Amino acid sequence: MPPNILGSNFTLQSFGESHGKCIGAVIDGCPAGLMLSEEDIQPMLDLRKPGQSVITTQRKETDVVNILSGVFQGYTTGAPICMMIWNTDTDSKSYEEFKVKPRPGHADYTGFLKYGGFNDHRGSGRFSGRLTATLVMGGAIALKILNKYLNIEVASYTKSIGKIELDTKHIPFDMLMTERYTNDTRCPDANVSAKMREEILNARRDGDSLGGVIECVVQGVPAGLGEPIFESIESEISRGLFSIPAVKGVEFGSGFRGSELRGSINNDSFLINKENDTIVTKSNNSGGILGGITDGMPLVFRVAFKPAASIPKPQKTVDLKTMTESDLIVTGRHDPCVVPRAPPVVDSVVGIILLDNCMKSNLVPRVLK
Amino acid sequence: MPPNILGSNFTLQSFGESHGKCIGAVIDGCPAGLMLSEEDIQPMLDLRKPGQSVITTQRKETDVVNILSGVFQGYTTGAPICMMIWNTDTDSKSYEEFKVKPRPGHADYTGFLKYGGFNDHRGSGRFSGRLTATLVMGGAIALKILNKYLNIEVASYTKSIGKIELDTKHIPFDMLMTERYTNDTRCPDANVSAKMREEILNARRDGDSLGGVIECVVQGVPAGLGEPIFESIESEISRGLFSIPAVKGVEFGSGFRGSELRGSINNDSFLINKENDTIVTKSNNSGGILGGITDGMPLVFRVAFKPAASIPKPQKTVDLKTMTESDLIVTGRHDPCVVPRAPPVVDSVVGIILLDNCMKSNLVPRVLK
Amino acid sequence: MPPNILGSNFTLQSFGESHGKCIGAVIDGCPAGLMLSEEDIQPMLDLRKPGQSVITTQRKETDVVNILSGVFQGYTTGAPICMMIWNTDTDSKSYEEFKVKPRPGHADYTGFLKYGGFNDHRGSGRFSGRLTATLVMGGAIALKILNKYLNIEVASYTKSIGKIELDTKHIPFDMLMTERYTNDTRCPDANVSAKMREEILNARRDGDSLGGVIECVVQGVPAGLGEPIFESIESEISRGLFSIPAVKGVEFGSGFRGSELRGSINNDSFLINKENDTIVTKSNNSGGILGGITDGMPLVFRVAFKPAASIPKPQKTVDLKTMTESDLIVTGRHDPCVVPRAPPVVDSVVGIILLDNCMKSNLVPRVLK
Amino acid sequence: MPPNILGSNFTLQSFGESHGKCIGAVIDGCPAGLMLSEEDIQPMLDLRKPGQSVITTQRKETDVVNILSGVFQGYTTGAPICMMIWNTDTDSKSYEEFKVKPRPGHADYTGFLKYGGFNDHRGSGRFSGRLTATLVMGGAIALKILNKYLNIEVASYTKSIGKIELDTKHIPFDMLMTERYTNDTRCPDANVSAKMREEILNARRDGDSLGGVIECVVQGVPAGLGEPIFESIESEISRGLFSIPAVKGVEFGSGFRGSELRGSINNDSFLINKENDTIVTKSNNSGGILGGITDGMPLVFRVAFKPAASIPKPQKTVDLKTMTESDLIVTGRHDPCVVPRAPPVVDSVVGIILLDNCMKSNLVPRVLK
């Protein structure tokens, strides 16, 4: 499979560079008959775009999406859907230095090595967080199908920033879904959000940056998704998530903390839900997945984002031309913490992967009605 | 891609069931000219097999591998390599009950749903940890190529069991490599290992089980592996690891803990290694991966295993026939903790994925010499 | 995709060598719930096996298939189905010479080059027509599903041998289906078959060999199969057919002869079939495929087989060791014409490809009933 | 694999519709370091574009290609290359009728069925020959790499139109290469070309159309390409060729005619080429392929194109709304014969497939120099 394609039935081919002419995506395998226009995609792009609040980068990208193919008379045709955003607010000057003096924590060095120096380094090129907008293009379509035809709802939100963490165990799904976008940290609790916000502002004031954790809950997932052994639903989702820049950890259900528990605590007992006579589990330490297959409980997983690599503080690096050690001051407009912009991206990746897997299970007709 | 195939250039097709006639693997894409016999594979299978010590299951599977194709006059031919283990010590009686009363934490329920009740439930069928032996078959071949032709060495070992954790930061690689197999927990420190052993015996005595964390360090990884965006080396490795039963979390470098740090701490400064005039990083919080591409530092990642699901303690489940809640006592011979048997499996998955990615980078000739 | 795998949803991984321990296939993606035993596969293997009549090779391979996984209590489980034939009647002596003096028209030379001399040359190794038995293993399963659940019937038969050709235009499908196996040339007309038989015997008497053409008609194909642009149904079928040794041409409908016609003659007018008020075409020059998609008419295509390469007549070749020109007499037991053994193989390839495409169109449930 | 992607290492994702906003292609997997601009692609598009002579359609598409990503400072970066042509000269009126009254020989009917009537029917939408321009975009890049780095040259030309056929056996490769573009039929012989031209004009005068055969010779192909069993070089090339609209037959070397010969005639004897002490074959009935692997001789194959389906002559069809039989007059601007526009398309498909297979054989570095 080519390296810039995600999915196997519903696929996304990503293209474009941060400071090139455009960024875009081609969706292949989308069923025909879906009502679709730019208005289905733009709102989700707007939730991701920079410059929305004081805690994100001040770049002003408008990120206006255009659908160029695959939609006719308001409906998808079954043909590839090409979508594009033309780049506008680019300022590549500061990046010249990074080509020779790679930024610690960034892909400047590995990109240079892998592509023999031919990679477009401007604005981090293909490695830029900006490319996550192409995931959102596809994600918005996938999520529309999942919502409308399968009643699946995805809620990613900020669980922690730095050491400030929200205990989400007792927050109902509907509240996660709605509250997360009521503040600029995307944390579904106003008090904790305020602390996170302060933490970010502190870090920025110190010329530093923060990381954090996105948690995601998916409701309405049909039981039976996932294709063991090698396409377990965990394998599928993690593959997608680790494509997001800055992601360094993924865990499902009780995850790493679950590895400290005993089986009698971590196992989820089966029960009858008397309201509708269905089988449920008492707890959900498995995160809705047993043997790599969804069990009908909500999917729950967490994604660790490292602190943003571009920081104003002086750092040590190597000058690739002279092969000497060197100081580096990273200038330019950068997010002090990418986590608040990540929920639409995580939603998108999961949306694409889940739709792809619903298609493998024959749950999505080739022509929608 | 069919769901029981791992890899894209060097691929492993898994087949067989825990209590069926056999388990096996077909390797496709292996270069010609590799000296290969069962003796290259059997020792690694022996490290994984059950019944090796008092802390693992007492089943006595001999796990003798046979190479059936793809090797001629002692060398690989470039054709598919079929390998097989005939099943011998199977006792399927206790599993009849689980078909109707699914074990909490196990795939009995989801397997039943997905395959309409047609799945082979004996010994957990395809979901059995026994199937990890098929990963080891392929892993042993991949690791031989990586070791011999690319000087890559992989060391997975037990980092924690339950709450007993080894601090591995200052243990040199060679010691990790050799010490891990000197005791039955596979922990490269005798004192911590003794505590882990006791913890397992305590859990078993209580009719309970434990989980833990495997850490893996890979040395000699060439810079430039990984194919962003969607085949980042993290995506590739995590996809493979989440195929191992009981794995619920994967993190690279500083991982989840790194998400609590500031950028100035988490970023790895570049330095010149004066001994050989190469570029290295001062710390390795990235786990040897920047932008999804290896940077030449050791790969470091951790894998969370949930506590073993099969426990003797009474549990609550549902009778699928009568749709009533029911008690369940799981009998049979089960591991109280699968972690000590996992290092050869993690080594194998990583070996397969790394070889596959070395092939994508043209680092492995089609005919070996 | 690994090179020894055919299909994308219903896949066949082939393994084994002509004179190795065994030949076999692993089917991945087969739906659960199909009643299946060796008795579903053996009859089709018997139609392909050598030594059945005076016009084929006199090797006596019994070709007894064993199902080793993926079937439980008489039904498929949804897990990979491994099938195997142990090789018995092998005599590899005559092949030593071909390793140094490659046979004209054979893969001795290219196999040697590609695999650096490591390929198993005995009995032509992986290049042997014997490997088509692995296609039949998978084909028998695919055809059972197509017949039973989708009413699709596939009839391949001998259309020509050398210059003896049967005009099949006016032979009804049922007669093609039944008559083809009433004689040893697999030609559905007794008179023409007798002439073909004589032609083969003449060629053998002269120390020579013949080729021919297999025609295939598929009835009951649902309209809408095929995924343009690059997975047109012609692309899919031809990809499979060109994997059969000795195939050098494939044409659909009027094919090469159609390229000499005018559009007004070659176009198939649409009509109403008054019996059941469905749309049909008056002629079928398209072979049942328009724009790469099936139109509901019977599929019709032809496959050209070159004359068998192994002939007793003296030939010119090169000695690879001395790099000098050399004479060669090919001994051993070879078919003077492979065409009579090809119909079950062509049926199998088409069966696998059609089932795979029916799955892409959601026409096959994941669990059969 | 998604249906609009060709190749596995060097891949082409096609998008766009004949009368939509644009047509385009994304190339993924192209090595970094290739000098590339629109000037490398435009000349080949110009050879394909309509309106070039009196024997093709009179539509005036300018077909100006834009490179939108993947090229930086004049060189490929290793990132996806998105290329686009904006559609200009579209006139969709005449197509309204075909939505209800499908044209015989066209994809109107099957496209309607497969996509539930949602497909963009204007100008035949995705089924239009216009989409072959997206193949040429990728083909031009592939051919540049093959020519410059591997000395491979591809020459497709018109071998026959209707019943007018050129005997090409004794025309040297250089003449095929240069003469084919000296006339508007793309036949490398002026006299035969004149006859073909007259035949086309006659057909058009009669309100009819013609088909024909493209032959392709590839020189400089390295021995050892092709990955048997299922990725034989014939499988790979035919898969690509059958994606071209109107192709109904593909044969290699002596092909269908070879199936009438005896083995002693059809087999190609091996010889020593005394000039450079290499192994060659006396004849080339295999078309340069033995056992699915290239043998170092020129590749030779032929592609049958059916007569163009859109003809002015009255035809019979069915009205899909009223389900009654109906007369149809196809108006609009159509090619009376598509064959003269096909050579750059066949060159492109073969170029993409050969480059893809050279990459599988490690013959193309990831960074070009």
**Two structure tokens written together for D158:** 């018109």
User: According to the model, what pLDDT value does residue C2 have?
Assistant: 86
Q: Which residue of A has its CA nearest to D118?
A: A77
Q: Best interface-test mutation with C: which of B72, B84, B131, B355 has the largest number of C CBs within 10 A?
A: B72
User: According to the model, what pLDDT value does residue C54 have?
Assistant: 75
Beta carbons within 10 angstroms of residue C21's beta carbon: 16
Query: Does residue C241 surpass a pLDDT of 80?
Result: yes
Rounded to whole angstroms, what are the CA distances from A246 to B227, B258, B339, D171? 16, 11, 29, 60
**A-chain residues near C366 (CB < 8 A):** 361-362
Query: Does residue A90 surpass a pLDDT of 80?
Result: no
- Return all residues near B337 (Cβ < 8 A) that are at least 6 apart: B55, B161, B200, B203, B209, B210, B211, B212, B307, B308
User: According to the model, what pLDDT value does residue C29 have?
Assistant: 97
Q: Helices B343-360 & B132-150, crossing angle to 10 degrees?
A: 50
Q: Which CATH superfamily is domain A5-253+288-360 in?
A: Chorismate synthase AroC (3.60.150.10)
Cβ burial, residue A151 (10 Å; 0-12/13-18/19+): exposed
Using CB atoms, pick whichever of C13, C77, C125 lies closest to residue B119.
C77
Helix, strand, coil percentages in chain C from 3-state DSSP, rounded to 5? 30, 25, 45
Taking residues D135-164, what's their average pLDDT?
98
User: According to the model, what pLDDT value does residue C236 have?
Assistant: 98
Taking residues C176-200, what's their average pLDDT?
96
Q: What confidence tens digit (pLDDT) does each residue in C204-232 have?
A: 999 999 999 999 999 999 999 999 999 99
Q: Which residue of B has its CA nearest to C82?
A: B15
Q: Provide, rounded to the nearest whole percent, the portion of chain C with pLDDT above 90.
A: 90
Give the span between the Cα atoms of C133 and D273, in whole angstroms. 38
Give the span between the Cα atoms of D137 and D140, in whole angstroms. 6
Q: What phi and psi values does residue D53 have, to the nearest 5 degrees?
A: -155, 175
Q: What confidence tens digit (pLDDT) does each residue in B257-304 have?
A: 999 999 999 999 999 999 999 999 999 999 999 999 999 999 999 999
User: According to the model, what pLDDT value does residue B29 have?
Assistant: 97
**B-chain residues near A228 (CB < 8 A):** 3-4, 107, 126-127, 243
Give the distance from CA A334 to its chain's centroid.
Answer: 18
The residue written with tokens 């019979």 in the block is D316
Give the span between the Cα atoms of D6 and A80, in whole angstroms. 14
CA nearest neighbour of C139 among C53, C224, C240, C238: C240
**A-chain residues near D9 (CB < 8 A):** 2
- Cis amide leading into B244 (omega within 30): no
Q: What confidence tens digit (pLDDT) does each residue in A172-189 have?
A: 999 999 999 999 999 999
Q: What confidence tens digit (pLDDT) does each residue in B25-69 have?
A: 999 999 999 999 999 999 999 999 877 777 777 667 789 999 999
The answer to whether C307 contacts D263, with C-beta atoms less than 8 Å apart, is yes
Helices (H) and strands (E) in chain D, counts: 10, 18
Torsion angle of the four alpha carbons A197, A203, A207, A212, in this order, in degrees rounded to the nearest 10: -90
Taking residues C108-133, what's their average pLDDT?
95
One-letter amino acid of A161: I
The answer to whether B254 contacts A262, with C-beta atoms less than 8 Å apart, is no
The answer to whether A307 contacts B8, with C-beta atoms less than 8 Å apart, is no
**B-chain residues near C3 (CB < 8 A):** 28-29
CB A242 within 8 A of CB B227: no
- Return all residues near D216 (Cβ < 8 A) that are at least 6 apart: D154, D155, D156, D157, D299, D300, D301, D302, D303, D346, D347, D350
CA nearest neighbour of D343 among D235, D217, D226, D236: D217
In DSSP terms, D328 is beta-bridged to: D315
Query: Does residue C49 surpass a pLDDT of 90?
Result: no
User: According to the model, what pLDDT value does residue B50 have?
Assistant: 79
Quote the DSSP letter at residue C33.
T
Could you tell me whether strands A212-219 and C11-16 are parallel, antiparallel, or unpaired per DSSP bridges?
unpaired
Query: Does residue A326 surpass a pLDDT of 90?
Result: yes
Give the span between the Cα atoms of B239 and B6, in whole angstroms. 9
* List of chain B residues with pLDDT < 70: 1, 58-59
Rounded to whole angstroms, what are the CA distances from D307 to A15, C261, C267, D160? 38, 7, 8, 12
What is the nearest CA distance from A348 to chain B, expressed in angstroms?
14
Beta carbons within 10 angstroms of residue B45's beta carbon: 23
* Coil, helix or strand at residue D327: strand
Q: Helices C233-241 & C343-360, crossing angle to 10 degrees?
A: 140
Query: Does residue D62 surpass a pLDDT of 90?
Result: no
Quote the DSSP letter at residue B114.
H
The answer to whether A119 contacts D72, with C-beta atoms less than 8 Å apart, is yes
Run of H or E residues at A85: strand A81-86
Could you tell me whether strands A22-28 and A81-86 are parallel, antiparallel, or unpaired per DSSP bridges?
antiparallel
Mean pLDDT of chain A: 95
Q: What confidence tens digit (pLDDT) does each residue in A102-136 have?
A: 999 999 999 999 999 999 999 999 999 999 999 99
What is the maximum span of chain B, computed from C-alpha positions, in angstroms?
72
The answer to whether A227 contacts B313, with C-beta atoms less than 8 Å apart, is no
Give the span between the Cα atoms of A297 and A291, in whole angstroms. 14
Using CB atoms, pick whichever of A110, A160, A308 lies closest to residue B295.
A110
**B-chain residues near A105 (CB < 8 A):** 263, 266-268, 286, 290
What is the nearest CA distance from D269 to chain B, expressed in angstroms?
26
User: According to the model, what pLDDT value does residue B332 have?
Assistant: 77
Cβ burial, residue B19 (10 Å; 0-12/13-18/19+): buried
User: According to the model, what pLDDT value does residue A96 have?
Assistant: 86
Q: What confidence tens digit (pLDDT) does each residue in C344-356 have?
A: 999 999 999 999 9
Give the span between the Cα atoms of A24 and A137, in whole angstroms. 8
User: According to the model, what pLDDT value does residue B313 have?
Assistant: 95
One-letter amino acid of A250: V
pLDDT band at C95 (very low <50, low <70, confident <90, very high): confident
pLDDT band at D93 (very low <50, low <70, confident <90, very high): confident
